[in-house]
DNA sequence: TTGTACGCGTTATCAA
DNA sequence: TTGATAACGCGTACAA
């Protein structure tokens, strides 16, 4: 079943059928009804390959999500679905592997789907420098700053990772902790981890202390890796009264490792996570964490994108304030 | 950049370029190198719209995933990526809303992408009865039985939800519990919930007891809903010594509600979940649960699909044994 | 081994 | 308001 069949069965021509299906103005009510009657009866849907191939300009908004298992991004996607359901822009949501280039992928999809704009959920400076020049449509990098990249069509919205981490660490220092362990991502590959690392260093400096590298343990963003890394740290004889994990999932894994040592959280070791995942509030103790401003980031990034698309505003860059969620996993000493 | 440009720049014709790009045999090494040189230099990728539009038969396998936030399915997808990375079949992974029809969506994508086969992660009998007849390619319904549907090209792989639930409930009954609360999905809409409900009834019967409807509380599959539902149950004066939740997320929410009442798990109330999510092992107490055989389900469903595709085997239906993971959230009384 | 020409299902342009 | 027709980018017979 193609629009050709529709044309034959409805008695109208290809052109008219296409216009009906796309809600174009210059169609008689009679023609519209005739075509729609057949559509209802047969359950026809346009072939999006042919549509995209021919269309010079689509009407959708593309969201490229980096990493499938990322709960934070999953929540963001939900927000976007909510936000854009109130507009006329269909969403194309594309998930790519952590290791693939989001910009290259966006380039391919821009050619194929011709979206009005692109939202990047996660991304690396490196990839943008390399290939973003090929992308012409308004875009927003979410969860990272593009201010220094200098692309005219790339806005950005992020929480201040450096300050957020600093805030978490200061919370621990302020509570009297001096022996800290920090668990986070690979500093050579993750912009985010690097920013948060810098925040740690800064917080220490502000307290007149030195953040020593041996306090930093590299791990992947998963429960299991958090568990293994913390376990290894403790096995290596690391001593601490507090742990800052750069992700809640890492923190949750670390807590298990701590408990397996016969230690308690927060009585023996305090723990602060990062992200503010829903699960954190269902643990005991509830996880203290740096809560990502998910809703605000989604709102602002969507707004920025729409301003670029609809009102041709120039790219701009925003930093959303985070908030420290003080729950029950930190103890004063 | 299209293959037309490639043809011009490489000095070969459209046909030759297309043959190179698709790895066809009748191409000289010289032509291949000339074309690939330009491809490398410019970073060309085929336009999949045009490709799919033209191709009468693709080489991919389609996975339709019902529900974005579903951790269980997320783990399954990872398994599939692993399994199929060792084959020559590219994966097309499509996420749809819980409320949309997976079969209708698969129909559209079959017309557009022409995959060799379809894997349904989640699905409702109703939708298959309604529209599956339009789908001609080998398919497998995962997480639900299609035995009674009688389609020649639809296999199925599922865990025995009825037995699984019965096993969980019997575990509680065997541990001496008699006052049970059961939290699960909407019985009028979810095949899975209904099967598990029947398992509960059966387990009670085997113990010479009656499973009374007031013990069943309908809730959504989320931490929050589990929490709210359990809280409401307790507020309504429901008394119990054990809870069976039809999903780990519900169980985790319920546990919080229990604790907020000043009760302990498992000392005052035992809890059994369902699914065997990774997080369950990082809680305290570790969550006792009916573990879904994720790996086996992925392996068998992939095998069944490939047998249909490659060796034209008829559809068949398998039930994978589940296992009860006895952790720390159940107490004998 | 290579090149040419046609068609996939749709939108867009133009003339009627 | 409608209809005919030319693309869109690609794969593939078929001819060379």
Q: Would the CB atoms of A45 and B108 count as touching at under 8 Å? A: yes
Distance of CA B194 to the CA centre of its chain: 17
CA distance A274 to A282: 15
pLDDT beyond 90 at B134:
yes
Chain A, chain B: beta-carbon pairs less than 8 Å apart: 66
Chain A residue with CA closest to B73: the answer is A69
pLDDT in tens, A61-75: 999 999 988 999 999
Using the predicted structure, report yes or no on whether residue B11 has a pLDDT greater than 80. Answer: yes
* Nucleotides of strand D within 7 Å of the protein's CB atoms: 1-13
> pLDDT value at position B237?
92
CB-based contact A109:A62 (threshold 8 Å): yes
Alpha-carbon distances, residue B243 vs B184, B188, B228, B281 (angstroms): 11, 21, 14, 18
* Residue A328 clears pLDDT 80, i.e. is over it: yes
- Record the tokens describing residue B12, joined without a space: 């070969």
Res B169: pLDDT: 97
Task: Report chain A's mean pLDDT, rounded to a whole number.
Answer: 95
What are the helix (H) ranges across chain A?
3-10, 14-21, 29-42, 48-54, 71-84, 102-113, 125-131, 161-174, 191-206, 223-235, 248-260, 294-311
Cβ–Cβ gap A69/B49 under 8 Å: no
Residues in contact with B317: Cβ distance below 8 Å, sequence separation at least 6, in sequence order: B145, B146, B147, B155, B156, B157
CA of B110 to C1' of D14 (A): 29
Domains within chain B, CATH numbers bracketed? 3-54 (1.10.260.40), 58-159+294-322 (3.40.50.2300), 161-292 (3.40.50.2300)
| B255 interfaces chain A, CB cutoff of 8 Å | yes
Task: Quote the pLDDT of residue B244.
Answer: 98
CA distances to A39, A313, B49 from A46, rounded to whole Å, are 10, 33, 13
Confidence of residue B272 (pLDDT cuts 50, 70, 90): very high
- Write down how long chain B is: 333
Name the CA dihedral angle for B178, B179, B184, B190, rounded to a multiple of 10 degrees: 60
Residues 276-295 of A with CB under 8 A from B: 278-279, 281-284
Mean pLDDT of A228-253: 96
Please write the tens of the pLDDT for every residue from B206-261.
Answer: 999 998 877 999 999 999 999 999 999 999 999 999 999 999 999 999 999 999 99
What is the pTM (predicted TM-score) of this model?
A: 0.94
> pLDDT tens-digit profile of A258-289?
999 999 999 999 999 999 999 999 999 999 99
Q: Does B2 touch chain A (CB under 8 A)?
A: no
B29, closest nucleotide (Cα–C1'): C1
């Amino acid at each position: 079943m193609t629009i050709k069949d529709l044309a034959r069965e409805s008695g109208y021509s290809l052109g008219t059928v296409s216009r009906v299906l796309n809600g174009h103005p210059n169609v008689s009510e009679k023609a519209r009804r005739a075509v729609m009657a057949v559509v209802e009866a047969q359950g026809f849907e346009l072939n999006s390959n042919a549509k995209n191939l021919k269309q010079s300009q689509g009407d959708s908004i593309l969201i490229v999500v980096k990493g499938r298992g990322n709960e934070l991004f999953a929540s963001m996607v939900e927000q976007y679905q909510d936000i854009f359901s109130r507009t006329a822009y269909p969403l194309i949501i594309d998930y790519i592997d952590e290791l693939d280039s989001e910009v290259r992928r966006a380039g391919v999809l821009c050619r194929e789907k011709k979206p009005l704009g692109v939202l990047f959920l996660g991304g690396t400076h490196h990839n943008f420098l390399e290939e973003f020049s090929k992308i012409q449509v308004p875009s927003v990098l979410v969860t990272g700053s593009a201010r220094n990249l200098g692309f005219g069509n790339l806005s950005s919205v992020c929480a201040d990772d450096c300050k957020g981490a600093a805030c978490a660490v200061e919370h621990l220092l302020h509570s009297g902790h001096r022996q800290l362990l920090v668990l986070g991502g690979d500093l050579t590959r993750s912009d985010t981890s690097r920013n948060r690392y810098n925040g740690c260093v800064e917080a220490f400096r502000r307290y007149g202390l030195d953040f020593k590298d041996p306090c930093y343990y590299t791990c992947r963003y998963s429960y299991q890796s958090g568990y293994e890394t913390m376990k290894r740290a403790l096995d290596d004889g690391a001593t601490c009264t507090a742990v800052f994990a750069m992700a809640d999932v890492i923190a949750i894994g670390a807590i298990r490792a701590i408990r397996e040592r016969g230690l308690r959280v927060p009585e023996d070791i305090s723990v602060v996570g990062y992200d503010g995942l829903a699960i954190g509030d269902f643990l005991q103790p509830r996880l203290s964490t740096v809560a990502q401003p998910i809703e605000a980031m989604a709102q602002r990034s969507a707004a920025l994108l729409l301003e670029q698309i609809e009102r041709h505003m120039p790219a701009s860059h925003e930093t959303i304030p985070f908030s420290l969620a003080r729950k029950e996993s930190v103890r004063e000493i």
